[in-house]
């Protein structure tokens, strides 16, 4: 394989044999299997129920680190030609498309419960006794924070394309700070919720949809931190920066999902005068 790299007369990257795909599959199996066993309270060789999924998670995190470390080395070694970068972009697009469908499932569950409330929850939405968050308090603040972060990451991207390394770093720093602030506000919001995850369909759909979005914000923030470290190391150039582009695309995806979450769950689904309660009052369900 090394010879193929040094004597290649094509634009493709002939990847060296790697143990990381196999290790990643094993890690995912240990994590999934361990989680199922933990949910059933089953111990493995006397270990605490949480031990096996924790081991699987640590294995997966290690796999991600070493695999992406190798990808960064390949990029810095010149193996990511224009053709290879195009393939990486297609891969990122399909990944984001799969994430879109992931969130479609949570929205589907929410709309199924809110548009067609059953007798079990009093045939109304929000269910009796549930006090939703005030739409224009913390949820709206977090909306402003996240939309501002989308602006700052775009600023960083344009600075990078113009060869402005200082602007790139400043934009990344601002985006990371805003992402961390969003997570802190959401954690505070959760700690003051007037309903619980186990309290019924409202709590389960709310926390699953917004919670998984919060996890994506955390992952995106880590993604941007790695880009910041690479920016200090001088890895990105105006015509060779797919790693940053992927992070920016992911962050904009997180922004768009939040707009739908805010509009559908926090505003429309809260039972306000123009929300689902108005539809119910008019016989819409």
pLDDT at residue 16 is higher than 90: no
- Note whether 65 and 93 are same-domain residues: no
List the CATH number of the domain containing 18: 1.10.287.70
- Note whether 65 and 136 are same-domain residues: no
The token duo for 274 is 């123009």
Q: What is the mean pLDDT of the chain?
A: 89
- Note whether 183 and 229 are same-domain residues: yes
- Note whether 59 and 194 are same-domain residues: no
The pLDDT of residue 8 is: 62
Which residue, of 44, 79, 114, is where some domain finishes? 79
- Note whether 9 and 135 are same-domain residues: no
CB neighbour burial string for 34-73, b if at least 16 within 10 angstroms, e if fewer: bbebbeeeeeeeeeebebbbbbbeebbeebeeeeeeebee
Domain that holds residue 41: 1-79
Which residue, of 39, 62, 79, is where some domain finishes? 79
- Note whether 128 and 156 are same-domain residues: yes
The token duo for 276 is 């689902």
- Note whether 104 and 232 are same-domain residues: yes
Q: What does the pLDDT look like over 29-66, one tens digit per residue?
A: 999 999 999 998 888 888 888 999 999 999 999 999 99
Q: What does the pLDDT look like over 131-158, one tens digit per residue?
A: 999 999 999 999 999 999 999 999 999 9
Per cent of the chain over pLDDT 90 is: 67
List the CATH number of the domain containing 164: 1.20.120.80
pLDDT-based confidence at 74, cuts 50/70/90?
confident
pLDDT at residue 231 is higher than 70: yes
Where are the strands (E) in the chain, listed by range? none
Which residues fall within 8 angstroms of residue 211, CB to CB, at 6 or more apart?
Answer: none
The pLDDT of residue 3 is: 46
- Note whether 193 and 156 are same-domain residues: yes
pLDDT-based confidence at 274, cuts 50/70/90?
very low
- Note whether 168 and 255 are same-domain residues: yes
Q: What does the pLDDT look like over 89-131, one tens digit per residue?
A: 999 999 999 999 999 999 999 999 999 988 888 888 988 888 9
- Note whether 120 and 75 are same-domain residues: no
- Note whether 22 and 151 are same-domain residues: no
The pLDDT of residue 277 is: 47
Which residue, of 79, 103, 138, is where some domain finishes? 79
204 CB neighbour count, 10 Å cutoff: 17
Check if the beta carbon of residue 71 is closer than 8 Å to that of residue 226. Answer: no
pLDDT at residue 11 is higher than 80: no
pTM of this prediction?
0.86
The pLDDT of residue 7 is: 55
Total domain count for the chain? 2
- Note whether 178 and 249 are same-domain residues: yes
């Amino acid at each position: 394989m090394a010879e193929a790299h040094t004597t290649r007369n094509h634009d493709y990257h002939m990847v060296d044999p790697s143990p990381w795909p196999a290790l990643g599959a094993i890690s995912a199996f240990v994590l999934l299997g361990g989680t199922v066993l933990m949910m059933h309270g089953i111990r493995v060789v006397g270990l605490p129920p949480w031990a096996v999924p924790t081991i699987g998670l640590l294995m997966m995190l290690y796999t991600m680190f070493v695999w992406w470390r190798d990808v960064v080395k390949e990029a810095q070694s010149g193996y990511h030609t224009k053709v290879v970068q195009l393939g990486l972009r297609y891969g990122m697009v399909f990944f984001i498309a799969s994430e879109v469908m992931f969130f479609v499932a949570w929205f589907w569950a929410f709309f199924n419960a809110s548009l067609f409330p059953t007798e079990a929850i009093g045939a109304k939405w929000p269910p009796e006794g549930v006090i939703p968050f005030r739409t224009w308090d913390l949820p709206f603040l977090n909306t402003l924070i996240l939309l501002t972060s989308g602006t700052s990451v775009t600023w960083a991207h344009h600075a990078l394309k113009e060869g402005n390394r200082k602007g790139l770093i400043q934009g990344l720093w601002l985006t990371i700070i805003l992402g961390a602030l969003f997570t802190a506000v959401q954690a505070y919001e959760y700690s003051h919720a007037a309903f619980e995850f186990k309290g019924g369909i409202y709590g389960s759909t709310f926390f699953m949809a917004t919670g998984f979005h919060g996890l994506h914000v955390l992952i995106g923030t880590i993604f941007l931190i790695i880009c910041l470290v690479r920016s200090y190391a001088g890895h990105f150039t105006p015509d060779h920066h797919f790693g940053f582009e992927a992070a920016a695309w992911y962050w904009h995806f997180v922004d768009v999902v939040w707009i739908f979450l805010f509009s559908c769950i926090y505003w429309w689904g809260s039972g306000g005068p123009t929300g689902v309660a108005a539809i119910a009052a008019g016989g819409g369900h």
